[in-house]
Amino acid sequence: MADARTRLRRPSTGILVLASALGAWLAIPDPSKGAGLLWIGGARALYTSPALAFATAAFFAFPLSFFGFYLASNALQHDLRTRMAAVVVATPIRNAEYLLGKLAGNAGLLIAATFGFMMAAMAMQAVRGEGPLQPLTFLAQYALILSPCVAWVAAMALVVECAPGISGRLGDALYFFVWSFTVALGVEPWRKAGAQISWFGRCIDYTGLGFIFGEVQRITGTSEFAIGDSGNPVTKPPITFPGLDFTPEAMATRAMGFLVPALLFPLALALFRRFDPASTKSPRGGGRRSLSAILAALARPLGRPPLAVLDRLSPDAALTFRARPPLVLLAAASAVLGLTLPIESVRENLLPAVFAVLSAALADVATRERQAGFATIVFAAPRRRDGFAAWKLATAALVALLFAGVPTARLLITDPKAGVSALVGVLFLAATAVALGIATGTPKTFMGLSLALWYLAMNAKGHTPALDYGGWWAMATPLVQAGWAAATVLATVASFAAHRARLAREG
């Protein structure tokens, strides 16, 4: 209860609910202009409660399962940062009780976001609907489709935080790949049309996509359905979609989606060390021998010579690598591959990989001082308090160019159009990392959003030029490039504004 209360009282939760509501407003286009949200067999489904509830819930599964992790996975870290962890663990509370509370807090946050989205969807039906508003129908469809998703994300966030060695940035990055993989698995792409979702699929299908495909086909007799406005001309009259059924089989299928989260909880319990410093600190120093610590120990000696040079240019950029020595190896690998790979491979394979790494490497450039409790010392140093935003923008740009500079430079020479896109994309990431870091105080916001953008761009494969922000597909037009450049400038200005606002708040 205390955890849920703490989370729900935070201003960021209110912002989250509002953002979800805004998402619903943007997701439901105006049917009077021929647009639609749900298309079945080429026909637009009327905006009735069952159709809107179904479509918006199915749509929300993606942002909920992706962004929801980054929003929820802060529960244990928050207790550590506020030093409440030491107080809590000295009480009689059992580990299971404590973690259940955190799990409930995670779920509560996600349910609040879902509720905000649902309320906005209902409001949109009131504005653009084509049938009576049925709130209970919304509740039922959302519960059926999204409750395993909430359970999965809440449990995953808990497990990653409890797991030594992967809690933190590494866990955030790993989740992205786990999410990409499991979303695809849940749909069972190998399943033949008309075939039932397998037992395995039911357990892993937390987004409900696999379930939805099967149910829509069963209810409507067609496998041709889409959510979102295709922009294609409307050729068939609209239809009425009755929504998903609550047959025993449907409910049993979705209930199986709770199995993996249920198994994740005992895993979290087994991994949780109750904040025991002995499990995090070695008396002889060197930290726990987690994977990240081992990698850091291996990379540290190799990084010393180049970092000694970087120190003279930018101690803060050097700090980025010093705090995570494996980044030195990754930057070096990027430079070597940037020079040796065929240019098409540089563009289509190396640059996307570099952009993914930058999502992690840049995320805490503007937040690490505050998160480490070091900000006061830094602000007392010359030129740091008032010049913080400029300093961090320079650091982020330098770090980004150290990773992407060689492949980008090579692309600028051999394929200037793609090279310009790559350069703009790199600087966009740098500026956005700083702006979001200063504004939100956490690296997770930038990391989640940049990985989401990366995912969209990778899946678009250049078919949507506007998403070719990194020049990977050489499809961005000059207008698109100008748009991303403008976004970079906007993020840069936002960095200064956010820092000024923060200083004004803190006096």
Count the Cβ atoms, other than its own, within 10 Å of residue 387.
Answer: 13
Q: Please select the residue that binds another protein; options are 9, 33, 192, 383, rule is CB under 8 A.
A: 383
Taking the least distance from each CB to another protein, the nearer of 319 and 366 is 319
| Binding of another protein by 379 (CB under 8 A) | yes
Q: Please select the residue that binds another protein; options are 240, 280, 414, 477, rule is CB under 8 A.
A: 280
User: Considering the complex, what minimum distance in angstroms separates the CB of residue 164 from another protein?
Assistant: 13
Taking the least distance from each CB to another protein, the nearer of 378 and 487 is 378
| Binding of another protein by 11 (CB under 8 A) | no
Taking the least distance from each CB to another protein, the nearer of 311 and 348 is 311
Q: Give the C-alpha separation, 176 to 146, whole Å.
A: 19
Q: Give the C-alpha separation, 22 to 16, whole Å.
A: 10
Q: Please select the residue that binds another protein; options are 128, 273, 385, 417, rule is CB under 8 A.
A: 385
Residues touching another protein: how many (CB under 8 A)? 35
Beta bridge partners of 227: 38
User: Considering the complex, what minimum distance in angstroms separates the CB of residue 225 from another protein?
Assistant: 49
Under DSSP, the state recorded for 163 is S
Stretch in the footprint of another protein (CB under 8 A) among 48-56, 245-253, 377-385, 429-437: 377-385
| Binding of another protein by 102 (CB under 8 A) | no
| Binding of another protein by 279 (CB under 8 A) | no
Angle at 127 between CA 125 and CA 133, to 5 degrees: 35
User: Considering the complex, what minimum distance in angstroms separates the CB of residue 383 from another protein?
Assistant: 7
| Binding of another protein by 305 (CB under 8 A) | no
Taking the least distance from each CB to another protein, the nearer of 104 and 293 is 293
Strand (E) positions, 298-422? Answer: none
Cβ density class 104-122: b for 16+ within 10 Å, e for less: bbbbbbbbbbbebbbbbbb
Taking the least distance from each CB to another protein, the nearer of 230 and 282 is 282
Q: Please select the residue that binds another protein; options are 341, 378, 390, 490, rule is CB under 8 A.
A: 378
User: Considering the complex, what minimum distance in angstroms separates the CB of residue 319 from another protein?
Assistant: 6
Closest among 407, 423, 419 to 485, alpha carbons compared: 423
Beta bridge partners of 226: 39
Q: Please select the residue that binds another protein; options are 126, 309, 381, 479, rule is CB under 8 A.
A: 381
Q: Which long-range contacts (CB under 8 A, 24 or more apart) does 7-14 make?
A: 7/75, 7/105, 7/108, 7/109, 8/108, 8/109, 8/112, 12/440, 13/109, 13/112
Q: Give the C-alpha separation, 481 to 418, whole Å.
A: 10
| Binding of another protein by 287 (CB under 8 A) | yes
